[in-house]
Amino acid sequence: MKKTIMPVLFVGHGSPINAIEDNAFTRRLKELGGQLPRPQAVLCISAHWETAGTQVLVNETPATIHDFYGFPKQLNEYDYPAPGAVAIAQETIRELKRVQAQATSAWGLDHGAWAILTHLYPKADVPVFQVSLDKDLSMEGHYAIGRLLAPLRAQGVLILGSGNIVHNLGAYDPDTNARPYDWAVTFDDGIKAALQAHDIGLLTDPSRVDQKAARLSLPTEEHYTPLLYVVGASHQDDKLSFPFEGIQNASMSMRMVAFS
């Protein structure tokens, strides 16, 4: 019997409010949850967990972290009570021995994880853990860790990167459906083309798309780097697809990227 190799998925998560809203993006996430093979666990690499060195969440009951402010009470009290994935998290640490990844129980599930998972797996019945972003790594270093994580796919682990290819809060428009900035479209399209060409050099040096567009699209890098883990964990014979494309609030790319 052929073993199922899990897909790898990058999701642009945008505003935390997407966790409780019904829109084209969240409806597509719900559809996707029913289309993906059922995972043994989800490994989430979120833009919202940066650490010194690489850390792995090893916690049987990870808390729901509300790492934002200024949102409705409903969102601040939202709970996503998914179980942890302790055994697989420990296996992940072994896979990451080259980078001396460390276990921690001091984190939980930040909104980069649960705001997506609440639509993918609304029953919160799939075990979840997170791997942090080492804030001192180069983009090539993030990609290399993705390569180390790839064997987990054969163990039933869905590797989920959560960030945004374009993420500029300073240019944020309160209107979800505001017309996207030209630079946001240029950068998002450029990264799409690089993914299609499997151009790792450009993906790890995204300023090559267009320097001005890259500077405006990525004032900081943490929302982009989860994509590199997903690309690193992909296989040469994977099929690339984009389950959702679009830009919210003029400056947030909601693009999803799947390798399966």
253, 166 in Cβ contact below 8 A?
Answer: yes
Domains of the chain: 8-259 (3.40.830.10)
Closest among 104, 50, 112, 108 to 83, alpha carbons compared: 108
CA distance 187 to 207: 9
Contact between 132 and 55 under an 8 Å Cβ cutoff? The reply is yes
How many of the other CB atoms lie within 10 Å of CB of 172? Answer: 16
Candidates 182, 231, 223; CA nearest to 203 is: 231
Report phi then psi at 165, rounded to 5: -65, -35
Residue entry with tokens 């693009």? 255
What are the tens digits of pLDDT across the range 155-199?
999 999 999 999 999 999 999 999 999 999 999 999 999 999 999
Indicate whether 130 pLDDT > 60: yes
pLDDT tens-place string over residues 201-216: 999 999 999 999 999 9
Question: For residue 70, with 0-12 CB atoms within 10 Å meaning exposed, 13-18 middle and 19 or more buried, which class applies?
Answer: exposed
Whole-model pTM: value is: 0.95
Q: How far apart are CA 93 and CA 84, in angstroms?
A: 15
Cα end-to-end span (Å), the chain? 19
How many degrees, rounded to 5, is the angle at CA 24 between CA 20 and CA 28? Answer: 90
Residue 1: its pLDDT value, please? Answer: 39
The tens digit of pLDDT for each residue in 75-129 reads 888 999 999 999 999 999 999 999 999 999 999 999 999 999 999 999 999 999 9
**Per-residue tokens: 144:** 């290399």
At residue 131's C-alpha, the angle toward residues 166 and 163, to 5°, is 10
Asked whether 144 and 96 are in contact (CB, 8 A), the reply is no
With H, G, I as helix, E, B as strand and everything else as coil, classify residue 208: helix
Strand partners for 42: 128, 158
pLDDT at 3 over 70: no
